[in-house]
Amino acid sequence: MRRTPLALLNLIHDRKKFLTSMAGVAFAVLLMFLFTGFKNALYDSQTQLLSRLNGDIVIINRLKENMFVPRAFARRRLYQAQAFDGVEGAYAIYISDARWKNPDTRKTRPVRVIAYNPSDPVLPMAEVLARQQELRLPNTAMIDERSRAEVGPRETGVITELADREIRVVGTFSLGTDFASGNGNLIMSDQNFLRFFANRGPEEEERSFATADIGLLRITPGTNIDTLVQALRDGLPQDVLVLPMNGPEGFIARERTYWEENTNIGFVFSLLTTMGFVVGIILVYQILYTDVADHWSEYATLKAIGYDNAYLFGVVIQEAVILSVLGFIPGLLISALFYNLGAAVTGLLFQLTLRRVVNIYMMTFIMCLISGAIAVRKVQRTDPAEVFGL
């Protein structure tokens, strides 16, 4: 036999009140999930294209501080890099923004065009690999089905205009938007890229195969990336930057760090998350305090018959922990729903990783603990002598 589970029974005794309490905690959990979700989505989305690129080492213009900066580098550098021991392949990626006409509304929206030689394994996504032949046809492209709704229907067969030139959509892929992508992404062959961007008019930059935006290097298995990166840095002219793809000093980490350090996203959403946390503390405190106040004479009686403060402290803290668990579960489920919704509407990457779930649960737990610690003072001050002569 166990101890009578007083905390649990007190909490669930009044069903209606219990559901309201749970909803309160769930709401605080939802707030925290949403705000950290938006923050992470904005950060994660910046690197979703980069982390799909199939390369071990990246070469970019030294001035390309982030993906937003349209600085290209001389494609010669890629051929030079190819001469180094351990470099298996070097691929050029061309990136440009262009106006895309929504075929339904006839309004133009900027989108990002990613171009490369379809024979190069740059973006090894199954949908893309399956459309290699179609991409080689003139004036064709594939569209990101997670582009924002403003670009119109994101499906195969759409014929519209890109940079005032007719384009046919021959397939879709799934990537998602970020700060640099505008309203969505297109993938096309390098040949088509030339057709669209070689001669766009006097105000626009003329693109050619002489420059590339990102250079991808594949290395032969067994090569040490760090030594190769060092060798490339020493061997190549100083106008390019050589970075490993992954790792703390890598290209992906650098992009994420840029947005973390140069925008207010982190501050704003951390502030909002903290507010969700505080709202949670107040809500849970209210719930626990009401329980203590409603059962004041019963708790005082327990003290009178010989229960000590530690026991009552335990009861209130148990209530707090039970609330944190029971409120967290619905909060998590609703948040998952909102994450899907948010991803569908914005094209941003909303990831609900185990670590983030654990983090938010820890915050919920601490939130309930703080509330419990404040509410418990009421019980501890209870003077059992006052139960007499009421």
Partner 1 sequence: MTAPRSSSTTSGLPPAAEASIQVRHLNYFFGRGDLRKQVLYDISLDLHPGQIVIMTGPSGSGKTTLLTLIGALRSATDGSLRVLGQELVGLGNRQLVEIRRNIGFIFQAHNLFESLTAAQNVEMAVELTGNFRGKRQQAVDILSQVGLAERADYKPAALSGGQKQRVAIARALVNQPQLILADEPTAALDKQSGRDVVTLMQHLAKEKGCTILMVTHDNRILDVADRIINLVDGRLESDESPQQFADSHAPKSLDQKMFIL
State yes or no: residue 16 binds partner 1 (CB under 8 A). Answer: no
State yes or no: residue 238 binds partner 1 (CB under 8 A). Answer: no
Compute the distance between CA of residue 196 and CA of residue 206 in angstroms, rounded to an integer.
Answer: 10
- Count of residues that bind partner 1 according to CB under 8 A: 28
Question: Which of 301, 318, 351, 380 contacts partner 1 by CB under 8 A?
Answer: 301
Question: Which of 9, 83, 126, 354 contacts partner 1 by CB under 8 A?
Answer: 9
Question: Which of 15, 234, 238, 388 contacts partner 1 by CB under 8 A?
Answer: 388
Q: Quote the least distance from Cβ 13 to partner 1, whole Å.
A: 3
State yes or no: residue 355 binds partner 1 (CB under 8 A). Answer: no
State yes or no: residue 20 binds partner 1 (CB under 8 A). Answer: no
Question: Which of 137, 166, 298, 358 contacts partner 1 by CB under 8 A?
Answer: 298
Give the β-pairing of 140-144 and 165-173.
parallel
Name 13's Cβ contacts closer than 8 Å, sequence gap at least 6: none
Question: Which of 141, 283, 302, 317 contacts partner 1 by CB under 8 A?
Answer: 302
Q: Which stretch binds partner 1 (CB under 8 A): 10-18, 191-199, 246-254, 326-334?
A: 10-18
Residue pair 174/146 in contact (Cβ under 8 Å)? The answer is: yes
Residue pair 265/271 in contact (Cβ under 8 Å)? The answer is: no
Q: Quote the least distance from Cβ 305 to partner 1, whole Å.
A: 6
Compute the distance between CA of residue 158 and CA of residue 337 in angstroms, rounded to an integer.
Answer: 30
What's the Cα-to-Cα distance from 73 to each of 98, 143, 159, 208, rounded to whole Å?
Answer: 20, 26, 32, 11
Compute the distance between CA of residue 195 and CA of residue 39 in angstroms, rounded to an integer.
Answer: 38
Query: What residues from 306 to 335 belong to the interface with partner 1 (CB under 8 A)?
Result: 306-308
Which residue from 286, 322, 369 is spatially nearest to 10, judged by alpha carbons? 322
How many other CB atoms sit within 10 Å of the CB of residue 126? Answer: 8
Q: Quote the least distance from Cβ 381 to partner 1, whole Å.
A: 13
| Closer to partner 1 by Cβ: residue 10 or 147 | 10
| Closer to partner 1 by Cβ: residue 257 or 301 | 301
Residue pair 288/371 in contact (Cβ under 8 Å)? The answer is: yes
Question: Which of 99, 295, 356, 378 contacts partner 1 by CB under 8 A?
Answer: 295
Q: Quote the least distance from Cβ 7 to partner 1, whole Å.
A: 10
Residue with tokens 């925008």: 263
* Secondary structure (DSSP) of 182-249: BT-EEEEEHHHHHHHHS---TTSPPP-TTEESEEEEEE-TT--HHHHHHHHHHHS-TTEEEEESSSTT
State yes or no: residue 305 binds partner 1 (CB under 8 A). Answer: yes
| Bridge partner list, 110 | 99
State yes or no: residue 384 binds partner 1 (CB under 8 A). Answer: yes
| Closer to partner 1 by Cβ: residue 221 or 388 | 388
Q: Which residues bind partner 1 (CB under 8 A)?
A: 1-4, 6, 9-10, 12-13, 295, 297-298, 300-308, 383-385, 387-390
